Amino acid sequence: MLNLREAELHVLYCLIRKPKLMRIANVDSKWFAGAGLQHLIELLHRLDGAFAGELDLISQFNGAYPNEMTRQDWLEIDNSAVTTADYSGWLKMVRDDYMNQQLRQAAFHYQQTPTRQNRAALESALDNTKQDDGIRSDVSLSDLADVMDYKLDHKVDDGLQTYTGLNDLMGGGLRGGILFTIGARPAVGKSAFALNLIHQLESKNKAVLVDLFSLEMTNNENYQRLLAMETTLDNSKFNNPSVQLAPNEKLTVKSAMERLKAQQLYLHDNIFFLDEIIAKISAHAQAAAKGKYLAVIDYLQLIKTKQPNENRTLEISSITRELKLLTNELDIPIILLSQLNRQVEMRPNKVPNSADLRDSGSIEQDSNIVAFLYNGYLECGQPKSYRPKPNEPRKVILDIQKNRAGALGRVSFSFAANQLKFKEVFL
Ligand SMILES: Nc1ncnc2c1ncn2[C@@H]1O[C@H](COP(=O)(O)OP(=O)(O)OP(=O)(O)O)[C@@H](O)[C@H]1O
């Protein structure tokens, strides 16, 4: 996670290269730490772009404020080497930190000396934190060109890797800003598939933080499923492991438990309200390193809201809207599982489509990617549904039918239901 000092340096790096950024939002010198950075902001305000590059700025600064900034300070700013696309986010961080600091100080003074005057100061500090900061991320084509320029010379993050076929269709992996909805009929294995995706992601990417909101299964059930996947032991043996597991299997389980401990996976079986889900996601996403966070919600139709709407379609629309906005705001991917209505059972080929997403068309509208999971296999590239046989691995297709920034296509899996394990089938 970016620290405050880095955010300050990034803001200055951008302002020195693009002084016009000063005009898109107020930049107050008070928000910055230390006389050097504060005076540099004041000088940038006064010059309003009238300097010929960084060297000229340094010489004007040294003339006005001798010995306030060392060569090392300037080098630190230079080392930022960022694009200006995230300027508003860094400025906001610097501003918010200052406002919160003022609020803490005012609260401390009021607690020590609860006078009317100190109370007014506290109220005003609180008002300041709530005020619209006017910091907007207006992005011009020239800003976007900067970003593309940067990407032409630097390899950008591929996103979070999961199954190979899925990575290919997504043109990389799971990236920020993606709401990925997976719909399936009950018992096809969508909860199990979500756990498998997380498992893939934890094994193929370093230091990823994942939140799994499971609104229908307990943490214990999910943990047992994780152990079954990790050990390839029958899931039912974990119901009474002391009796049902052989001594060598217990050793296998213990080492699987150790491996799982290393993962930053948080299971939540007691959070049902949308605003609580959002609060948890916001806290963890901001604590995680950039590009290293994923939230999975199992499943949409069980999410509750504090202002329930009699019209469930409208309520579901507001939930998917909020989740979509959250992916953009925090620049994170969210995987949202969804039930399908029964119509799909009536169709001869039993291949689901967007019309089967229960409760609302907003699910398709708000999602960047919509995929369906169903029992089936590919024959000459075409999906064939089938009825799985007991005690045999099932054939399952993940069918991507909407993909805003990538290809449509299908990925085939073999699903060992007793181990809850999905293996990709390469055709
Ligand atoms: N020990 C086991 N042996 C055989 N099959 C099992 C075992 N444990 C789980 N399963 C099967 O694996 C599948 C797991 O489904 P999962 O709970 O992930 O489905 P889902 O699509 O999320 O459905 P729902 O919405 O009903 O929960 C189910 O079909 C279940 O019957």
* Structure-token pair, residue 364: 């398709």
Establish whether residue 235 lines the binding site of ligand 1, counting it when its CB lies within 6 angstroms of any ligand atom. yes
User: Does 13 have pLDDT greater than 70?
Assistant: yes
Please give the single-letter amino acid code of residue 280.
Answer: K
| Number of DSSP helices (H) and strands (E) in the chain, helices first | 16, 10
User: Does 1 have pLDDT greater than 70?
Assistant: no
Phi, psi of 93 (to 5 degrees): -65, -45
Residue given tokens 């119901």 in the structure block: 239
Give residue 255's pLDDT band: very low, low, confident or very high (50, 70, 90): very high
CA-proximal residue: ligand 1, atom 3 (nearest): 418
Distances (CA, A) of 384 to 350, 356, 393, 410: 8, 18, 16, 12
CB of 42 closer than 8 Å to CB of 26: no
Residue-level pLDDT at 339 = 94
Establish whether residue 187 lines the binding site of ligand 1, counting it when its CB lies within 6 angstroms of any ligand atom. yes
Summarize pLDDT for 162-190 with one digit per residue, the tens.
999 999 999 889 999 999 999 999 999 99
* Structure-token pair, residue 112: 């020590």
**What single-letter DSSP state applies at residue 273?**
B
Report, as residue numbers or ranges, the catalytic residues. 216
CA 193/CA 248 separation, integer angstroms: 28
Q: What is the mean pLDDT of residues 334-358?
A: 89
Q: What is the best residue among 182, 191, 224, 226 to mutate for testing ligand 1's pocket, by most ligand atoms within 8 Å of CB? A: 191
The ipTM estimated for the assembled molecules is: 0.95
Cα angle 298, 241, 226 (rounded to 5 degrees) comes to 30
Give residue 88's pLDDT band: very low, low, confident or very high (50, 70, 90): confident
Phi, psi of 350 (to 5 degrees): 55, 25
CATH number of 4-153, picked from 3.40.640.10, 1.10.860.10, 1.20.1740.10, 3.40.50.300: 1.10.860.10
Give residue 277's pLDDT band: very low, low, confident or very high (50, 70, 90): very high
Establish whether residue 392 lines the binding site of ligand 1, counting it when its CB lies within 6 angstroms of any ligand atom. no
Cα R_g (the chain), whole angstroms: 26
Q: What is the dihedral of CA 397, 401, 403, 407, to 10 degrees?
A: 70
188 alpha carbon – ligand 1 mean position (Å): 7
Own/partner contacts of 139-147, CB < 8 Å, gap of 24 or more, are 139/85, 143/83, 143/84, 143/85, 144/85, 146/83, 146/84, 146/85, 147/83, 147/85
Mean residue pLDDT of the chain comes to 91
Entry pTM: 0.74
CA-proximal residue: ligand 1, atom 29 (nearest): 187
Summarize pLDDT for 15-73 with one digit per residue, the tens.
999 888 887 788 999 999 999 999 999 999 999 889 998 999 999 999 999 999 999 99
Please give the single-letter amino acid code of residue 45.
Answer: H
* Structure-token pair, residue 411: 């990925």
Query: Which residues make up the CATH 3.40.50.300 domain(s) of the chain?
Result: 164-425
The closest alpha carbon to 322, from 270, 373, 282, 266, belongs to 282
Q: What proportion of the chain, given as a percentage, has pLDDT over 90?
A: 68
Least confident range of 130-144, 205-219, 252-266: 130-144
With 0-12 / 13-18 / 19 or more C-beta atoms within 10 angstroms meaning exposed / middle / buried, residue 365 is middle
Establish whether residue 362 lines the binding site of ligand 1, counting it when its CB lies within 6 angstroms of any ligand atom. no
Residue-level pLDDT at 137 = 62
The closest alpha carbon to 319, from 337, 335, 301, 332, belongs to 301
With 0-12 / 13-18 / 19 or more C-beta atoms within 10 angstroms meaning exposed / middle / buried, residue 114 is exposed
Pick 391 or 199 by higher pLDDT. Answer: 199
Distance from CA of residue 316 to its chain's centroid? 20
* Structure-token pair, residue 51: 């300097």
Query: CB-based contacts of 178: which residues, under 8 Å, 6+ apart?
Result: 327, 333, 334, 368, 369
Distances (CA, A) of 361 to 303, 323, 365: 17, 15, 6
* Structure-token pair, residue 394: 């099932």
CB of 73 closer than 8 Å to CB of 36: yes
Residue-level pLDDT at 136 = 64
Residue-level pLDDT at 138 = 64
Query: CB-based contacts of 132: which residues, under 8 Å, 6+ apart?
Result: none
Query: Which residues make up the CATH 1.10.860.10 domain(s) of the chain?
Result: 4-153
Establish whether residue 184 lines the binding site of ligand 1, counting it when its CB lies within 6 angstroms of any ligand atom. yes
For residue 289, give the 3-state DSSP assignment.
coil
CA 155/CA 395 separation, integer angstroms: 37
* Structure-token pair, residue 84: 């200006």
CB of 7 closer than 8 Å to CB of 94: yes
Pick 386 or 221 by higher pLDDT. Answer: 221
Class of domain 164-425: alpha beta
Q: What is the mean pLDDT of residues 108-136?
A: 86
User: Does 406 have pLDDT greater than 70?
Assistant: yes
